[in-house]
Amino acid sequence: MNIIVCIKQVPDTTNVRIDPETNTLVRSGVQSIVNPFDMYAIEEGVRLKEKFGGTVTIITMGPPQAEEALREAISLGADGAILISDRAFAGSDTWATSYTLSRAIQKIGKFDIIICGKQAIDGDTAQVGPGIAAFLDIPQITFVKKIEDIKDSLMRSERMTEEGYDIVESPLPCLITVVKEINEPRLPSLKGKLRAKKAEIKKLEAKDLDADPDLLGLKGSPTKVVKIFTPSPRKGGQILEGEVKDVSEKLVELLKSEIC
Amino acid sequence: MSIKIINEKCVGCKLCVRTCPFGAIELVNKKAVIDLHKCTLCGACIESCKFDAIVLTKINPTDMPFPKKFDEYKGVWVFCEQKKGVVQSVAYELLGKGRELADTLGVELCGVLLGENVKGEAQKVIHRGVNKVYLVDEAALKHYQDEPYSKVLIQLIKEHKPEIVLCGASSIGRSLISRVAIGIHAGLTADCTGLDIDIKERLLLQTRPAFGGNIMATIICPNHRPQMSTVRHKVMKEAVENKHYKGKIIEKSYDAKIYYSRTRLLDVVEEIEETVNLTEANVIVSGGRGMQSPENFKLIEDLAKSLGGAVGASRAAVDSGWKTYSHQVGQTGKTVCPKIYIACGISGQIQHLVGMQSSEIIVAINKDPHAPIFTVATYGIVGDLFEVLPELTRRFKEALKR
Amino acid sequence: MDYLLTEEQVMVRDIARQIAEEKIRPVAAKYDAEGIFPWDIVKIMAASDLCGIYIEEKYGGTGGGAMELVLATEELSKACGGISLAFAATALGTFPIILFGTEDQKRKYLPDIAKGKKLAAFALTEAGAGSDAGAIATTAELKGDYYVLNGTKQWITNGGEAEVYTVVASTNRAKGARGAAAFIIEKGMKGFEFGKKEDKMGIRASATRELVFTDCKIPKENILGKEGMGFIVAMKTFDQSRPGVAAQAVGIAQGALDLTVQYMKDRKQFGKSISSFQGLQFMLADMATEIEASRALVYACARMLDSGNSKVSKDSAMAKLFASDVAMKVTVNCVQLFGGYGYMRDYPIEKYMRDAKITQIYEGTNQIQRGIIANHLIKETAAK
C-alpha cells in the first residue's frame, strides 16, 4: 500500500502570547513543531503500513527549515520524505497550497491513500485536505475518527459528525483527513531518530512540478490578507468576595433574572 | 508586490521582529531582514514600525493577471445545510448576515437547498427573507455526500454566478465548500467572525481569527468570484422569521450522473448524550482540570440541571477521559455563545477562551486568583469550587423553583 | 553546562526526556500513591528502543554504554525516581550477564532485555547480609547437572516483575566471601517464589520483594563465570551500576529543584515573589551548584567506564556518594522552600524527598562507599 501523508510545520500557537504593552503577537521564542493534527496522520499512516504492508511517504510544502518536520516524521516510522520548497510558493493561500501539493503528488505517481490532519493550528482552515482531493479528483472522507477496515481496495471508516459519526465507504485511492480521536501517536524511537538523521530528503521545486506558474504562491492565491490586528481583549468584571454563602447569594441575585 | 526594509531608517529596535506573526523577520548585523520565503505581505510589520523603515513596493502590472470582469457576478447566496430534512439554524444565522450584505450591495439574497422532500423547508427559508431559493430535490441528495453535493453546487454557481457564497462551518460545510472552491477557482475564507462590504471596491471583507485566536486577519478575494466564506454556528444572529415574506422557489434538476458518489454512506450513528445541544444552550456550566476527577463532574451536572443548562468541559477534562469530546468547548472543540457561561476549575488558557469568550455573561470559579479566566469573567469567585458549587445549586434551585 | 554529548547521546536524552514529561509525569503521583508498577511505561520505552541502550548491537541493543544509561536514567528520574527504576534496576540485573556471561548466555538473555520484553533484577542482599555481603546464607549445591538453591534474598528491586534474575549464592560457606557464585535464574523455575511486596517510604512505583528459593533446581550452565567468583561478579557489577544510581539521584534532585524554582516564582508573599528574597536565592544557588557538580562527577565516571577503564571503583563510589547526599539535601530544602505546601501530599514535592532517601542506602550504603574511597586512597598512598 502506498501511503502519502501531508504535514505542515507550524509555530506552536499554544505558546504564543500577546505582549500586553504593544498588544501585538510575540512570536520570538515560539518553537516550530509538526502540526499536532498531522502527528495523528503520521501515526495512522504508519499503522496502516504495519497492518497492510507498503510504504509511507511524508510530504510538506514549506521553507527549507520544514525539513526538520520531515525528519521527525521519519523518526516515527515513515519510510521517506519529500520537501516541496521554492520561493515561488511563498504567500500561498489554501487554494494555491492545495494546487501545489496536488502537483507534487502527481509527480510521486501511484498512491492508495493520502492522509492529512484535520487542520493546521496556525491557519485553522481545514481546507487543504479537501482541496487536494478536488484537484486530484479523488473521493474524500473528512474528520475520520477510525478506519474500520480496508479490503479489496475499499475503505470503510467512521466520519465524525456533530451528533456522532457516519460510517462511510470509499474506493481507493482516496484522501482522508483525521481527527485526534483516531489514535494515540507513538513517541520517536532511537533507531527511528538515527534513521531520520541519515535519511535523504528529496526536494521538489516549482520547476519540477509541471505547474502553471500563475497558479503558484501569492500570485496564484485568490485570497489576500489585507490586515492583521490583535483583537481588543475582553475586559474582566468584578470579583465577588466573602464567605461561600455570601458570594453564592450575590451571584444568584445577579444572575437569576437573566436565566428565566 | 514585494516588501523591503529601508536600511538607513532601520534602528534595529526589533519591534517588527516581535510583531511578525510568521516569524519572517530577524535582526542581522543590527538591521531587520525579511525572509521572503516566510513573508505573506500581511503588513503587520509596516504598521508596527515607528521609523517608517518598512515599505511595500507597488504591483508591477505585468506581475498580476488582469482582474477579470465581474459585472456578471451578482447576488449573495447562502448554502442551507439540512440534516434529516431540516434546515440547520446556522443557515438562518447566515441569512441574517446575508440580507445585510445583499442590501449593502443592492443585490438579491438566495438560499441554496439540496435534499430529498425538502420543499417545505425551502418555504421556511423564504420566510427568513430570501428573494429566491434554488432547490435541488433528489433521492440521491437525501444525505450529504461530498461528491454529489459539490458537483451540484459547482453547477449552480457556474450557471447563476453569485458574487458571494456563505456556508456554515459545520463538519458538512467545511468539507463541501473546500472542495467546491477548487472546482470553481474561488477564494475561500474559513471560520469568519466578521463580514463586511467595501462598497468602493465591491469586495467582501472577511475577518477571522488565526494563530489559535491570538490574532485577527482581514481577508479579501479581489480577483476571483464568487467570494466564499464559512461561518461558525452562533457567531451571527439568526434572520427573523416572517411568514408574510414572499420569494421564488426555483427547482433545478440535472442529469443523473451529477449525483453519482464514489463514497457510500453505510450508516449514521448518533451518540445521544444528555447534553446534545451544547451549542444551542442558553446556560452552560463547564468543568476543567480543577474538578480533579470524573465523579466530581456530578457537581457540574447538578448545577447545570438547576439552571436548565448544558454541561461543558475543557480540553483538559476531556483528555483525562472525564467527559466525552462532544462536551469539549474550545479551539479544538465547540464554539459556544450562551447567555451565561460558568467556568469551574478552568484556568482560562487562550485555547479554551476562543470557544466561549463571546458568551454574554461569564462566571469563573477557581481557587487560583491569578487564573487567566478572571481577566474575561464578568463575575469571578475565588474559592473552593467543591464548596461553592453545591451552595450555588441549592440557592438556584430555590430561587428558580426547579 | 555543555557536556559535549554526541548526537546519538542527545537523541537518547531527548527521547527519555519526552517520555518523562509526556508519559511519566501525568501518572507519577498515582503510581506512587497506589504502588502501581509502570508496565505501560516499560512498553513505551521498549517501543522507543531505550531498553537496549547499554547493550551491544549484536544482541539487539543500540550499542551504547554507561553514558547512555546515565543520561536516560537521569531524565526519567526527573519525573519519577520510582518509575525510572524499572529501567535502571534492570540494567543492574543485566550487567552480570554482560560482564561475565558466556556467548550462549548472552544470546539467550540479552535480546529480550534489549527489546524490553523482559526485565531483570540483581539479588545479593539478605536479612543477615546487607553491608556485610559476605555473610550471605543462601546456598547453591551442585548436584549432578543442577545447582540446588536454598535461601531467601531480601529487598530485591523489580522482584516479582522481572523474568531474569542474577543471584549471588554461596557454593562453599567455609570459604566465606571467596565461596560464592553468581547464577542466572528465571521466574517460573520450580522452587523459586516471591515474598510479599514491600511497603516503602519512597520509590513506591518500584516493586521490592523477597526471593525465596526452596530446593530450586537450576541448570548448571546458568552459573556466571566460575564458583568462587561470586563477589567479583558483584563488585564489578556495582562498579558499572553505581553511575546509574548516582544518575537517579541527580535526576531526583534536578526534578525537585525545577519544580521549586517555578513554585517560588509564582508564590507571592509580602507583595513579591518569594524567589526575590536573597536568602532563598542563595539556597537555590547552592542547590543548583551541587547538583551540577554531582552531574559532572557522574558523567565523568560514565565516560571512564565507556573508555574501557576498569579501575573505576573509587570514582564510581564518589559519584554515588556525592550525588545521593546532594539529592537528599536538595530535596529536604525544596520541601522547606515550598513551605506548608511542601508538607502536603497533594503537592508533588514531598515525594521527591521520600524518593531521594533510598539513594543514600541501596547499592552500597554511603558509609560503605566512604570505606571504599578511603581504602583506595590509602592503597594509592602506600603504593607510592
Distance from the Cα of A95 to chain B's closest Cα (Å) equals 7
Q: What is the pLDDT of residue A15?
A: 63
User: pLDDT per residue over A63-74, tens digit each?
Assistant: 999 999 999 999
Lowest mean pLDDT among A11-20, A44-53, A111-120: A11-20
Contact state of A124 with B361 under an 8 Å Cβ cutoff = no
User: pLDDT per residue over C108-140, tens digit each?
Assistant: 999 999 999 999 999 999 999 999 988 999 999
Virtual CA dihedral for C277, C279, C283, C286, nearest 10 degrees? 110
**Among B222, B279, B332, whose Cβ lies nearest the Cβ of A224?**
B222
Q: Which residue segments constitute the domains of chain B, with CATH numbers given?
A: 2-57 (3.30.70.20), 76-259 (3.40.50.620), 283-400 (3.40.50.1220)
Q: What is the pLDDT of residue C227?
A: 95
Contact state of C23 with A197 under an 8 Å Cβ cutoff = no
Lowest mean pLDDT among A22-36, A175-189, B21-35, B101-115: A22-36
The stretch C258-275 carries a mean pLDDT of 92
CA C49 to chain centroid: 19
User: pLDDT per residue over C154-181, tens digit each?
Assistant: 999 999 999 999 999 999 989 988 999 9
Contact state of B190 with A125 under an 8 Å Cβ cutoff = yes
First to last CA, chain B: 64
The yes-or-no answer on residue C363 being catalytic is: yes
The stretch C215-243 carries a mean pLDDT of 95
Is the backbone peptide bond immediately before C111 cis, with ω within 30 degrees of 0? no
Q: In what helix (H) or strand (E) does residue B283 lie, and over which residues does it extend?
A: strand B283-287
pLDDT at A37 over 60: yes
DSSP state, residue A118:
S
- At the topology level, CATH places domain A2-227 in Rossmann fold (3.40.50)
Whether residue B182 contacts residue B197, with contact meaning beta carbons closer than 8 Å, is answered with no
Q: What is the pLDDT of residue C10?
A: 97
- At the topology level, CATH places domain C121-230 in Butyryl-CoA Dehydrogenase, subunit A; domain 2 (2.40.110)
Contact state of A251 with B363 under an 8 Å Cβ cutoff = yes
| Residue A257 burial (CB count, 10 A) | 8
pLDDT at B65 over 70: no
What architecture is domain C231-383?
A: Up-down Bundle (1.20)
Label residue A249 exposed, middle or buried (CB < 10 Å: 0-12, 13-18, 19+). middle
Residues 99-158, chain A, touching B (beta carbon < 8 A): 121-131, 133-135, 139-143, 156, 158
pLDDT at A230 over 90: no
**Among C8, C18, C47, whose Cβ lies nearest the Cβ of A194?**
C8
Please state the ipTM of this predicted complex. 0.87
Per-residue pLDDT band for B275 (boundaries 50, 70, 90) equals very low
Residues 167-186, chain A, touching B (beta carbon < 8 A): 167-171, 174, 180-181
Domain spans in chain A, listed from the N-terminal domain onward: 2-227
Percent of chain C that is helix, strand, coil (3-state, to 5)? 60, 15, 25
Q: Which chain A residues are Cβ-neighbours of B389 within 8 angstroms?
A: none
Whole-angstrom Cα distance, residue B381 to residue A240? 5
Mean of the per-residue pLDDT values for chain B?
88
Whole-angstrom Cα distance, residue C5 to residue C16? 15
Q: Which residue of A has its CA nearest to C72?
A: A190
User: pLDDT per residue over A156-166, tens digit each?
Assistant: 999 998 888 99
Lowest mean pLDDT among A253-257, B111-115, C94-98, C222-226: A253-257
Whether residue A129 contacts residue A140, with contact meaning beta carbons closer than 8 Å, is answered with yes
**Residue at grid coordinates 487554494:** A95
Catalytic residue among C75, C126, C363, C380: C363
**Among B20, B262, B399, whose Cβ lies nearest the Cβ of A171?**
B262
Contact state of B216 with A230 under an 8 Å Cβ cutoff = yes
pLDDT at C279 over 60: yes
Chain A and chain B share a number of CB contacts under 8 A equal to 311
Virtual CA dihedral for C270, C274, C276, C278, nearest 10 degrees? 100
C278-304 burial code (b ≥16 CB/10 A, e <16) = eebeebbeebeebbeebbebbbebbbb
Whole-angstrom Cα distance, residue B117 to residue B123? 12
Distance from the Cα of A84 to chain B's closest Cα (Å) equals 12
Domain spans in chain C, listed from the N-terminal domain onward: 7-119, 121-230, 231-383
Q: Which chain A residues are Cβ-neighbours of C15 within 8 angstroms?
A: 187-190, 193
Contact state of C48 with A187 under an 8 Å Cβ cutoff = yes
Q: What is the pLDDT of residue B278?
A: 81
CA B339 to chain centroid: 18
Whole-angstrom Cα distance, residue C75 to residue C80? 9
Whole-angstrom Cα distance, residue C67 to residue C300? 9
Q: Which chain A residues are Cβ-neighbours of B308 within 8 angstroms?
A: 259
The stretch C361-382 carries a mean pLDDT of 95
The stretch C39-51 carries a mean pLDDT of 96
Contact state of A130 with B221 under an 8 Å Cβ cutoff = no
Whole-angstrom Cα distance, residue C367 to residue C177? 20
User: pLDDT per residue over C327-357, tens digit each?
Assistant: 999 999 999 999 999 999 988 999 999 999 9
Q: What is the pLDDT of residue B62?
A: 44
Whether residue B132 contacts residue B108, with contact meaning beta carbons closer than 8 Å, is answered with yes
The stretch B186-195 carries a mean pLDDT of 93
pLDDT at A16 over 70: no
Residue A175 vs residue B48, higher pLDDT: A175
As a CATH number, domain C7-119 is: 1.10.540.10
Per-residue pLDDT band for B324 (boundaries 50, 70, 90) equals confident
Whole-angstrom Cα distance, residue C230 to residue C178? 7
Distance from the Cα of C46 to chain A's closest Cα (Å) equals 9
The stretch B256-282 carries a mean pLDDT of 82
Ramachandran quadrant class, B388 (left: phi over 0; alpha: psi -120 to 50; beta: rest): alpha
Per-residue pLDDT band for A225 (boundaries 50, 70, 90) equals confident
Whole-angstrom Cα distance, residue C342 to residue B211? 38
Distance from the Cα of A246 to chain C's closest Cα (Å) equals 27
The stretch B58-87 carries a mean pLDDT of 77
Q: Which chain A residues are Cβ-neighbours of C8 within 8 angstroms?
A: 190, 194
Contact state of C48 with A188 under an 8 Å Cβ cutoff = yes
**Among B182, B215, B374, whose Cβ lies nearest the Cβ of A230?**
B215
